[in-house]
Chain A
Amino acid sequence: MDPTTGILSQWQFAITSIYHFFFVPLTLGLSVLVAIMETMYFRTGQVMFKRMTKFWGNLFIINFAMGVVTGIVQEFQFGMNWSEYSRYVGDVFGAPLAIEALLAFFLESTFLGLWIFGWDKLSKGMHLAAIWLVAIGSTLSAYWILVANSFMQSPVGFVEENGRLVLQDFGALLTNPYVWGQFPHTIFSGYTTGAFFVIGISAYHILRRHQSDLFKRSFQIAAVFGVIAVFLVVLVGHNQAQRMVQLQPMKIAAAEGLLETEDPASFSLLTIIDQKTLTPRVSIRIPRVLSLLAYNRLDGEVKGVNELQAAFEAQQGPGNYIPSIWATYWAFRAMVGTGFLMLLLAAYALYRTMRNQLTAKTWLLGIFPFALFLPYLANTSGWILTELGRQPWVVYNYMRTADAFSPSLTPGMVIASLVSFTLVYGLLMGADIFLLAKYARAGAEPAGEKRTVEEETYWE
Chain B
Amino acid sequence: MDLNTLWFILIGILFVGYFILEGFDLGVGIWLPFLGKNDTHRRMIINTIGPHWDGNEVWLITAGGAMFAAFPGWYATLFSSFYLPLLIMLLALIVRGVALEFRSKHDSLRWRSFWDWSICIGSLLPALLWGVAFANFIRGIPIDATKNFVGSFWDLINIYSLLGGLVTLTGFMLQGALFLSLKAAEPIQSIARYAASRIWVVATAVLIAAVIATYFFTDILQKLGVNPGPVPIGAVAAVLVCGWFIRQKRDGWAFAVNSLAILFTAATSFMILYPRVLVSILDPNFSLTIYNSASGPQTLRIMSTVALIFVPIVLVYQGWSYWVFRKRITADPSDLHY
- A interface vs B, CB < 8 Å? 61-62, 65-66, 68-73, 75-76, 78-81, 83-84, 86-87, 89-95, 97-103, 105-107, 109-114, 116-118, 120-122, 161, 164, 166-168, 170, 406-409, 413, 416-417, 420-421, 424, 428, 431-432, 434-435, 438-439, 451-460
- Residues in B whose Cβ lies below 8 Å from that of A65: 97-98, 100-102
Known: A109-B57, A167-B302, A431-B98. A454 touches B107 (CB 8 A): yes
B223 at the interface (CB under 8 A from A): no
Q: How far is the CB of A41 from chain B (nearest CB, A)?
A: 18
User: Is B39's CB under 8 angstroms from A454's CB?
Assistant: yes
Of residues 78 through 104 on chain B, the ones whose CB sits less than 8 Å from some CB of chain A are 78-81, 83-84, 86-87, 90-91, 93-95, 97-98, 100-102
B149 at the interface (CB under 8 A from A): yes
User: Is A79's CB under 8 angstroms from B105's CB?
Assistant: no
Which listed segment binds A: B127-135, B182-190, B229-237, B309-317? B309-317
Main secondary structure of the interface of A (DSSP, over half): helix
- Residues in A whose Cβ lies below 8 Å from that of B198: none
Contact of A114 among B62, B106, B303, B324 (CB under 8 A): B324
A-contact bits for B151-171, CB 8 A (1 contact / 0 none)? 000000000000000000000
User: Is A456's CB under 8 angstroms from B97's CB?
Assistant: no
Other 9 A-B pairs with CB < 8 A, given A86-B75, A101-B61, A458-B36: A61-B101, A68-B97, A72-B60, A101-B66, A110-B318, A116-B337, A453-B39, A455-B38, A456-B39
- Residues in B whose Cβ lies below 8 Å from that of A117: 47, 50-51, 325, 337
Known: A413-B84, A435-B106. A424 touches B94 (CB 8 A): yes
- Residues in B whose Cβ lies below 8 Å from that of A110: 55, 58, 314, 317-318, 321
Of residues 33 through 68 on chain B, the ones whose CB sits less than 8 Å from some CB of chain A are 33, 36-40, 42, 47, 50-52, 54-55, 57-58, 60-62, 64-68
User: Is B76's CB under 8 angstroms from A420's CB?
Assistant: no
User: Is B94's CB under 8 angstroms from A70's CB?
Assistant: yes
Contact of A456 among B94, B109, B306 (CB under 8 A): B109
CA–CA, A76 and B84, complex, Å? 12
- Residues in A whose Cβ lies below 8 Å from that of B325: 117-118, 121
CA–CA, A68 and B295, complex, Å? 28
20 cross-chain CB contacts under 8 A: A75-B65, A79-B75, A80-B83, A83-B148, A86-B68, A86-B75, A86-B79, A94-B67, A103-B310, A106-B317, A116-B50, A117-B51, A121-B325, A166-B298, A166-B299, A167-B296, A417-B83, A454-B107, A458-B39, A458-B113
- Residues in A whose Cβ lies below 8 Å from that of B83: 80, 406, 408-409, 413, 417
Q: How far is the CB of A80 from chain B (nearest CB, A)?
A: 5
User: Is A97's CB under 8 angstroms from B69's CB?
Assistant: yes
The 8 tightest CB contacts between A and B, nearest first, are A90-B72, A79-B79, A94-B69, A98-B65, A94-B68, A113-B51, A65-B101, A83-B76
Known: A431-B98, A431-B102. A95 touches B302 (CB 8 A): yes
- Residues in A whose Cβ lies below 8 Å from that of B299: 91-92, 94-95, 166-167
User: Is A106's CB under 8 angstroms from B39's CB?
Assistant: no
- Residues in B whose Cβ lies below 8 Å from that of A456: 38-39, 109
- Residues in A whose Cβ lies below 8 Å from that of B306: 98-99, 102-103
B307 at the interface (CB under 8 A from A): yes
